[in-house]
Structures are given as C-alpha cells and as structure tokens.
Amino acid sequence: MIGMYLGIKFMISSAEDKAKVKEALIPYIAGCVVVFGAFTIWRLVILLLSGLS
C-alpha cells in the first residue's frame, strides 16, 4: 500500500518532490528487507529443526 502510494507520488511529482519520495523510499525498502529476511530465516530454522527429529 505504501509502495503504491510512493510510486504514484513519484510519477506525478516535480523534481524536488521526487527527491523527497526517494528519501522516503529508503526506509520502506529497508523495512521490507528486514521483514522478509526474518521470515526466511525463521522458515529455514524450522526446516532444519524438523529435519533433525
């Protein structure tokens, strides 16, 4: 939802506003990496632990 908002805002913004959108995009991407990375690590741990038993 936020990604769509930032994308639309980026497309219709002026040059100065595009810079602000890019600045807002960095924490959004970092948050996505953390969330999906944590899920992947959790899934890998569960897979490894279920293989041990």
pTM: 0.65
Domain count within the chain: 1
Report how far residue 44's alpha carbon sits from residue 1's, in angstroms, rounded to the nearest whole number.
28
Domain that includes residue 13, residue range = 2-52
Q: What is the DSSP string of 3-53?
A: HHHHHHHHHHS-HHHHHHHHHHHHHHHHHHHHHHHHHHHHHHHHHHHHHH-
pLDDT at 48: 92
Which pLDDT band, with edges at 50, 70 and 90, does 51 fall under? confident
pLDDT 10s digits, 1-35: 888 999 999 999 998 999 999 999 999 999 999 99
